[in-house]
Amino acid sequence: MAATTTPRKDARVRYWEDYAVGETADLGSCRITEEEIVAFARKYDPQPFHVDAEAARRSIFGGLIASGWHTCALMMRLSVEAARREGAAGAGSPGLDSCRWLKPARPGDVLAGRTEVLEVWPSRTRPYGFVRRRVEMVNQHGEVVVAIVGISMYQRRPAVVA
Amino acid sequence: MAATTTPRKDARVRYWEDYAVGETADLGSCRITEEEIVAFARKYDPQPFHVDAEAARRSIFGGLIASGWHTCALMMRLSVEAARREGAAGAGSPGLDSCRWLKPARPGDVLAGRTEVLEVWPSRTRPYGFVRRRVEMVNQHGEVVVAIVGISMYQRRPAVVA
């Protein structure tokens, strides 16, 4: 799926051509609170170890942990904010090639996003290009909490009319 | 990651041994509202076509669409509710092997979940087993909106002491 978010003409714009394999970036960080963990999980993932502190204490996690979908959603927010800062001509995503929830995220954890471009290729039929990248959220102990390989679409740089 | 949600002794429990390749199930359905689309996206995926009805109308989507992470979160809720109904001894998930956002989900859409077991295998080191399954959300037009291949963990059936 693709959507055009037309950049302002006077703004610096980062098109598909501006992404290169091997490029890495820090996406900033966020703190995850118990209140947010429980609120997200009550709506979307009401398993006992996400919504019930007492049941979570008795589980092998030993305490409340965030839904994996919640850590992915926070990773998305950091990605969108970073894309906005760099003026990316983002056009949506067809999906992920993998997602691994490697360590629990617990109340008070600070999660930092980082990303690396793995592959770039143009659309054959439309004025877009694809970027495959690894994105990770790393906690305050340096442990990778979640790692995905995802695909993003970007607008191609418009041809310059002489 | 694994967590034990100890089932009540008098309840029917569905252990890892009770899942078989080829088994399919309907997960129920839910309606997605504009209010919910915007609220989720403001928190986790504030791209214009998810949060701004007017900007979305000008995009190639022609109107607001839900964040792909939102449709995944709704798929998770249907999965958790279905697991609870069948008394599944669920123990978390190590992740996904793929995720594809195939069609937009729009305000008012009714999304129905369905799943098929693709593979089952036991843990070599712990009293758990794995189930790899395809899970899809299908809209009221019969279109698949999102499809994942995910891995779930379940407790093994306890040995019967004679």
Query: For chain B, what are the domain ranges?
Result: 16-155
CA distance A162 to chain B (A): 28
Looking at residue A39, what DSSP letter applies?
H
Contact A101 B93 (CB under 8 A): yes
Q: Which long-range contacts (CB under 8 A, 24 or more apart) does A48-52 make?
A: A48/B3, A48/B5, A49/B3, A49/B5, A49/B92
Say what the pLDDT of residue B161 is: 72
Say what the pLDDT of residue B6 is: 53
Question: β-strands B144-155, B128-138: how paired?
Answer: antiparallel
**How many Å apart are CA B34 and CA B106, to the nearest integer?**
8
Contact B80 A5 (CB under 8 A): no
Which chain B residues are Cβ-neighbours of A32 within 8 angstroms? Answer: none
At the second CATH level, the architecture of B16-155 is Roll (3.10)
* Residue A101 Cα distances to A22, A125, A159, B62, B92, angstroms: 23, 35, 42, 34, 10
Using one digit for the tens of pLDDT, what is the confidence trace for B12-69?
Answer: 899 999 999 999 999 999 999 999 999 999 999 999 999 999 999 998 789 999 999 9
Say what the pLDDT of residue B59 is: 87
Chain A residues within 8 Å of chain B (Cβ atoms) = 1-6, 40, 43-49, 55-56, 58-61, 65, 67-69, 72-74, 76-77, 80, 90, 92-104
Contact A6 B58 (CB under 8 A): yes
Using one digit for the tens of pLDDT, what is the confidence trace for A52-81?
Answer: 999 999 987 899 999 999 999 999 999 999
Q: What ipTM goes with this model?
A: 0.91
Say what the pLDDT of residue A159 is: 84
**How many Å apart are CA A91 and CA A25, to the nearest integer?**
19
Which chain A residues are Cβ-neighbours of B5 within 8 angstroms? Answer: 47-49, 55, 59
* pTM of the shown model: 0.92
Nearest CA in chain B to A74: B44
Contact B61 A1 (CB under 8 A): yes
Say what the pLDDT of residue A9 is: 54
Nearest CA in chain B to A151: B100
Contact B73 A68 (CB under 8 A): no
Contact B60 A94 (CB under 8 A): no
Task: Please give the average per-residue pLDDT across A79-105, as a whole number.
Answer: 96
Nearest CA in chain B to A103: B1
- Tracing tokens 């509202």 back to the chain, one arrives at B33
Other beta carbons within 10 Å of A26 = 12
Contact B90 A47 (CB under 8 A): yes
